Structure 1
Amino acid sequence: MEIMAMEMQKVDAWIQQERPQYWTREVRRGFDKIAETRVALNRCEMRTVAGQRSACIEEKQAFAAAKRRLELCQEQIKNVRRWAMKLGHEENEFRGRLSGLRRCVESDLPKAIALLEQTATVLEAYAELPPPETEG
């Protein structure tokens, strides 16, 4: 039971602390990447080759990819918040059930064992009684 509680704490720390920190860092990196790719795109759009502006296809693709990545990271932050709330609810349910199981193992089970031992002792004592005398 303690192992289950420890595993729940690990999952809780992962969802409540590690994942939000990770995705927050990724959002910052995403903004940096957008700024970097926007500068590269602007530079490309300003460049002319033989009087013609470049199509800047690679730069546009990189900028679009950076925007998609940022959107994904922002969505993951929302998902992690939602998961954290759901996990909190499930964790409360788990702890309630674990408490009932712990009570059974620590209290009810020893009481039942003691009752069975007492019953066995009474039955053994009864079995040792001499049979009743019969008239006859």
Structure 2
Amino acid sequence: MAERAKVASIEALEDFRSSLVKYSQRTKSALDEVSSEMKRLREWLSYERRTGWEAEVRRGTRRLEQAEAELMTAEMSGLQDDLMSRKMAVKKAVRALEESTAKLEATKRWARNFDSVVAPALRPLDSLRDRVAGDLPKAIATLDGLVRALEAYAERDLKPRPAEGSEEGGAA
């Protein structure tokens, strides 16, 4: 007679299957979150940040124009104390405007290069997404089949077998 298999823990397979289902759901959720974060980042960079820096450049330009006008007024009035503070205000406004302009240009550059820089970094995630969407459901289905087969085998093995030589269900 063939040697019997010793099925010790179908529950361990069921637990593994359950863990695999949870892993699959969490991984899908995390990958979806990464994708949506990248979309939000692209929009933030392309629109919100850019428009924010454009507004700051406009405000800086107005402040510079105002500081220059106040400097001109101080020069016409001839007050030396006021003249020095106005010159410093103009320099401060120029530095602030240069900084805002530089940040606006950097933001535009980042927005232009976003896809070419981020896409290669996201490629492995696309591969993982394909595996999670394709391979994990197959693995879960395979584990389901294994559990059912082992349960059927274990039930068959537990049923009492008729003794050899005795007839079961003999004719009456």
For the superposition of Structure 1 and Structure 2, which TM-score range results when normalised by the shorter chain? 0.7 to 0.9
* Bigger mean CA deviation after superposition, 11-20 or 89-98: 89-98
Q: Deviations over 1:103-133 (max 9, x none)?
A: 1111111112223344455556666579xxx
With the length of structure 1 as denominator, give the TM-score of the two structures.
Answer: 0.76
Q: Deviations over 1:48-67 (max 9, x none)?
A: 3xxxx525111011100000
**2:12 equivalent in structure 1:** none
Q: Deviations over 1:47-92 (max 9, x none)?
A: 13xxxx5251110111000000000011101221233244323432
State the distance in 2 between where 1:76 and 1:18 align. 13
Aligned to 1:28, the other structure's residue is in SS state helix
Higher relative contact order (CA 8 A, sep 6+): 2
* Bigger mean CA deviation after superposition, 111-120 or 70-79: 111-120
Mapping of residues 1-136 of structure 1, within 5 Å = 1-48=31-78, 54-55=80-81, 56-121=83-148, 128=156
- Please tell me the root mean square deviation across aligned C-alpha atoms, in Å: 2.4
State the distance in 2 between where 1:35 and 1:85 align. 31
* Counterpart amino acid of residue 114 in structure 1: A
State the distance in 1 between where 2:152 and 2:66 align. 89
Greater CA radius of gyration, 1 or 2? 2
